[in-house]
Chains A and B, each alone.
Chain A
Amino acid sequence: MTALGLFNYWAVIFLMMVGFYTLIARGNLVKKIIGLNIFQTSVFILYITMGKITGGTAPIFVEGGEDVIYSNPIPHVLILTAIVVGVATSAVGLSLVIRIKEAFGTIEEDEIQDESL
């Protein structure tokens, strides 16, 4: 397991940076929200990674299992809440995009800037 020691964290950082890059470098507003979603999911993976115990199983009680190892349930609970809240916030973001399209006729950042000058 030592080879895997930090691989998960580095993969999470890669995904997080891909999302971050999409968020700051792309001008299309829908693409920005997609980037935000990628970023969000990478944070979920980070939390779930922290909750995993080697040789453990899902935290649901097994009948008569005295020496069963269960993974940590707390990150699971936090992320369950975060997923639903994440979808709610991206719904608000997407409806803002629709309003911006109606007001400016475009959802490209640079064109919106030209329009409002």
Chain B
Amino acid sequence: MIEFVDIALLVLLGITAFSIIRQKNLFAAVMMVGIYSLLSAGLFVVMDAVDVAFTEAAVGAGISTVLMLGTLALVGHSEHQPQHRPILPLFVVILTGAVLVYGTLDIPPFGDASNPAHHHVAPHYLEESEHEIGVPNVVTSVLASYRGYDTMGETTVIFAALVGVLLLLSLGPRPRRVFLNGRWITVAASEKDASKEGVRDVQEDSVQVSHEEEDSGDTNG
């Protein structure tokens, strides 16, 4: 039964991933990425990784979808048709895939308890962590205690990313969302948008932008 669920979820993941590359509308692609994350969270539950499933559903399907939607609101959502035929990328991808498939032939079979991955420190964590740490969830005790420095490094990375995002988005002009004529539109920032003349410029720009958006929507739709 579990094997059946596993195969079904993996096939669904494959279909979703394939339709993401075919999708020209980026809003639809981003929603499909959310579906992809949720499906993979389901797969993690089937594979006994419940903590990972929680995180993937909350962070992968939730936060990253919101981040991407926010970006699309500022940069537009239609993708251009690629101009050249993707022969070289296809060749590279198929070659890499073939090498990886060749590599899997040596991998120990799925789910075997005698796999080398299960014989290093994992038995120690599973046998001793209840006495040494006193938390029933082994993942929690490894995350917060045995490998606590990893988690500290992780928070350092998140802090660095936060600083990077703030620096990138706070310095200099950036596109904004304004409410004009009953709808939200994106305007490119002008050089002098602090002054009142600047505001008028922005509004004229934005009218142009909205026309462009309508035009592109017609051609794509």
Contacts and interface: CB of A to CB of B under 8 A. Distances in A.
Interface of A: 1-2, 4-11, 13-22, 24-28, 30-31, 33-35, 37-38, 41, 44-45, 48-54, 56-61, 69-81, 83-92, 94-99, 101-102, 105, 107-108, 110-111
Nearest to A79: B52
A30 B89 contact: no
Given A73-B125, A77-B147, A84-B55, A38 B36 contact: yes
B154 A81 contact: yes
Contacts of B92: 24
B202 interface: no
Given A1-B3, A21-B90, A102-B188, A34 B110 contact: no
A69 B114 CA distance: 12
A53 B52 contact: no
B36 A95 contact: no
Chain B interface: which size bin?
35 or more
Contact of A48 (B26, B44, B101, B169): B44
Nearest to B154: A81
A58 B76 CA distance: 43
B197 interface: no
Interface of B: 3, 6-7, 10-11, 13-14, 17-18, 20-21, 26, 29-30, 33, 36-37, 40, 43-44, 47-52, 55-56, 59-60, 63-64, 67-68, 70-72, 74-76, 79-80, 82-83, 86, 89-90, 92-94, 96-97, 100-101, 104-105, 107, 109-113, 115, 117-118, 121-122, 125-126, 130, 136-139, 142-143, 147, 150-151, 154, 157-158, 161-162, 164-165, 168-169, 172-175, 188-189
Task: Label chain B's interface by main secondary structure.
Answer: helix
Given A30-B72, A90-B64, A92-B165, A75 B3 contact: no
Contacts of A1: 3, 109-111
A30 B82 contact: no
Given A21-B89, A84-B59, A97 B14 contact: no
Contacts of B70: 94
A10 B7 CA distance: 11
Contacts of A50: 115, 117
Contacts of A57: 48
10 contacts: A9-B104, A14-B97, A48-B43, A52-B111, A61-B130, A76-B51, A77-B142, A88-B158, A88-B162, A110-B83
